[in-house]
Amino acid sequence: MENITTLTSEQITKDLMPQQFGRNGKIWVAILVLICLIGAYAYYLQLKDGLIVTNMRDYVSWGIYISNFVFFVAISLVGSLITAVFRLANVEWSTPLTRIAEIIAVSAITFASLIIIVDMGRPERLLNLFAYGRIQSPIMWDVIVITTYLFISILLLYIPLLPDLKIMGEQDTKGPKWLKKFYRFLGSFWKGNPAQEKISNKSITILCILIIPVAFCIHTVTSWLFATTYRPGWDSTNFGAYFISGAFLVGAGAVVTAMFVVRKMYSLEKYITEEHFDKMGKIVVLLALLYLYFNVNEYLVPAFKMKKAEEGHLDELFTGQFAPLFWFAILVGMVIPILVLVTKKGRKPLPMFITGIMVVVGAWFKRYLIVTPTLLHPFLPMTNVPENFKHYFPSWEEWAIALGSLSGALLIITFFVRIFPIIPIQETITQQNEKATS
């Protein structure tokens, strides 16, 4: 932090301006667009022929679309953690990370809504939810809280952006004209006078308080889509807390990964310092321990009793066909990150980046393990059905759509970083001035 205080506002503004894509940036965007297009083509096939193009069948009626949905909802929770919880707790060092967290939240929750529509057998009947909606159904609760969360997240991204939009609009850079117009369109009413600032600060505080219960709701309700059924592996009162702790972990992992990339690409070493990595590392350890604790609850308690219905499911996870994936998710997603990040050396940027990726990848497979194995263990035996109903491995269309949605989310983040300052300019300047005067 000390090195920031030596910078002038002009220097900060110049450093934090969004920059054009370099060669790597262009390749990155091209790859993401390509994956998105393949996903869009796969979805076209699915619209044409129906969900038959997937490998979901009557027993495994929810597959990677739903686990991907849970993953997106999970990762979006980080917006509320970094922005809201840290802000309300007066954690000052988190300022450069708030916008990274918030754009991850917005893009993830957007794609969560899209992927759930992809999973519908009749997407054209989406409006039936409003025409005939039954408030008793957990799906309706999810629709309500996810929409609310999306809007609050967008506002939490937008309002702190206003002072920066003014700076961007006033800058005489060589950037394209439409971009300037776009900045002015978004924020021309912002004059930056004390009255406006007062309203803005108040709104942000209110939104920060609002978003915490809504964030808890989105993931608790998502966990209830499973926990309100009778099935072994889902029928658990632990599920809400289990999902939320896992969500904070994967979100923190995603922020760590993103801050490493942004820092490297934009050379922001002065703003996202090693100290930030160190602090985020400690948070990841805490969250991973918390998630591990809930995992022990979730698996050890039923495994101790080994009720008949649970037995097949747990055997399959611990030693059966899902065992490699299960232990991968536990080790790579939780245990190894904890072991690496408890050491001071482990919290340097590069090892942090690698563990961040491990946490995110482990978390994605963890969601798959929550959804699918349970469905392969119904109460009554699986008979009188074709052989392929008894197994599940996603078809290429499912992979393409799932990867396409992940690429889409990354694409939103990438374009946001290209167009807007990813580290709040005005806030950084204000914070530095406060430091200088104190």
Applying CB under 8 A, which residues contact another protein?
49-52, 54, 56-59, 61-62, 119-123, 125-126, 128-129, 131-134, 136-140, 143, 225-226, 228-231, 375, 378-386
Question: Between 139 and 159, whose beta carbon lies closer to another protein?
Answer: 139
Question: Between 127 and 436, whose beta carbon lies closer to another protein?
Answer: 127
Side chain identity at residue 369, one-letter code: L
- Of 325, 367, 335, whose CA–CA distance to 65 is shortest? 367
Question: Between 9 and 113, whose beta carbon lies closer to another protein?
Answer: 113
CB atoms within 10 A of CB 331: 14
User: Please, what is the minimum distance in Å from the beta carbon of residue 58 to another protein?
Assistant: 5
Question: Between 224 and 416, whose beta carbon lies closer to another protein?
Answer: 224
- Of 394, 388, 392, 362, whose CA–CA distance to 375 is shortest? 392
Q: Which phi and psi (to 5°) does residue 234 adopt? A: -115, -30
User: Please, what is the minimum distance in Å from the beta carbon of residue 60 to another protein?
Assistant: 10
Is residue 350 within 8 Å of residue 411, measured between CB atoms?
Answer: no
- Of 420, 426, 437, 417, whose CA–CA distance to 12 is shortest? 426
User: Please, what is the minimum distance in Å from the beta carbon of residue 333 to another protein?
Assistant: 25
CB atoms within 10 A of CB 347: 23
User: Please, what is the minimum distance in Å from the beta carbon of residue 313 to another protein?
Assistant: 14
Is residue 45 within 8 Å of residue 177, measured between CB atoms?
Answer: no
User: Please, what is the minimum distance in Å from the beta carbon of residue 140 to another protein?
Assistant: 5
Question: Between 140 and 335, whose beta carbon lies closer to another protein?
Answer: 140
Q: Which phi and psi (to 5°) does residue 144 adopt? A: -65, -50
User: Please, what is the minimum distance in Å from the beta carbon of residue 380 to another protein?
Assistant: 6
Spatial neighbors of 183 by CB under 8 A, at least 6 apart, are 165, 168, 169
User: Please, what is the minimum distance in Å from the beta carbon of residue 33 to another protein?
Assistant: 29
Tokens of 190: 């912002």
Tokens of 205: 């505080």
Question: Between 71 and 226, whose beta carbon lies closer to another protein?
Answer: 226
d(CA 246, CA 169) in angstroms, rounded, equals 40
Task: Please return the burial class of 437, using the count of CB atoms within 10 Å of its CB with bins 0-12, 13-18 and 19+.
Answer: exposed
Question: Between 30 and 117, whose beta carbon lies closer to another protein?
Answer: 117
